[in-house]
Amino acid sequence: MNPQQDRILVTGGAGFIGANITAALLARPNTDVVVVDDFSSGDWRNLRPLDCELRAADCDDAQLLDEIAAGRFSAVFHEAAITDTTVMDQRRMVEVNTNAFAKLLAATAASRTRLIYASSAGVYGNSPAPNAIGKGEEPENIYGFSKLAMDRIAARWYRRHPSVIIGLRYFNVYGPGERHKNERSGNKTASMMLQLYEQIRAGKRPRLFKYGEQRRDFVYIRDVVAANLAALTAPRSGVCNVGSGRARCFNDVIDALRGSMGVEVEVEYFDNPFDFYQNHTEADLRDSRQLLDWQPRWELEAGVADYVKLLDAGHRGPCPQC
């Protein structure tokens, strides 16, 4: 390998966000990417167009941790996690999300390797929006708590170690590369954009919790990838939000899909069965602008239109030229 070439590790690189990050990294000059995935939720088809080194392993595999500690990578993007927010097994969630992350922190600290990791807006639970770093961090489920625990562990590390650690709290991400989430038996964890699109294309009425007025911060994958790449040059450690900075209701999503798909459909509303459901999220982006020098570029309507165009064309895998 060229000594001037970056060698970057992406854990969970066969997943939705991980594959898009991998694709963007490979588009950079002099960059080689190693993807590690246990394929519990990732999909090989996301990697089919990507010329990267691939390993089937857990993100806390002992050999991998030794390589990180020895300085074999110029940066680590940690996207591996249980991402299904309806999983209620507390021990499993903390073991996979939080414990493994602590091992990665120790390895990157040993070699002073930059670590960029996926946190979540789930840390805010149903705290009043807008959601700002250091405020209202009251998760409503074990998934959100496991991510908050990661942020807290990271804060302890970056107060004591010189390596840069960046946590990115993703809000409601949607876009190319997530289709496999709807194809696993009984596992409908893809974004509402994809789920509603598929319902409409199948000739069905799109279904929303009553009455579609819940407000979320929907962020397009192209903006999420840009935030991750910006973290490669962030001057210091910290955690920040990655969202659009604007809450939109699910009825707005239906309107955007109607416009992009050229259809008129009526919505079927039904009762929400989840008592931990977040009814209003909205990212406060002040820390993101300061730490990453980044801000989102894709409004809901533009993001949905771009996504629908790719879906209608049969595109699979990460977004092209992300």
**Is 143 noted as a catalytic residue in this protein?**
yes
Peptide bond into 139 cis (omega under 30): no
Q: Which of 147, 170, 174, 181 is catalytic?
A: 181
Which of 177, 178, 298 lies closest to 227, judged by CA? Answer: 298
**Is 181 noted as a catalytic residue in this protein?**
yes
Q: Which of 117, 124, 143, 197 is catalytic?
A: 143
Question: Judging by DSSP bridges, how do beta strands 215-216 and 248-249 pair with one another?
Answer: antiparallel
Reported as type and span, the H/E element at residue 207 is: strand 207-209
Which of 319, 315, 212, 225 lies closest to 256, judged by CA? Answer: 212
Reported as type and span, the H/E element at residue 120 is: strand 114-120
Query: In the β-sheet with 114-120, what is the strand arrangement from edge to edge?
Result: 53-56, 31-37, 6-11, 75-78, 114-120, 165-170, 238-242
Distance of CA 30 to the CA centre of its chain: 25
State the Cα–Cα distance between residues 318 and 322, nearest whole angstrom.
Answer: 8
Contacts of 184 (CB under 8 A, 6+ apart): 41
Give catalytic residue positions. 143, 181
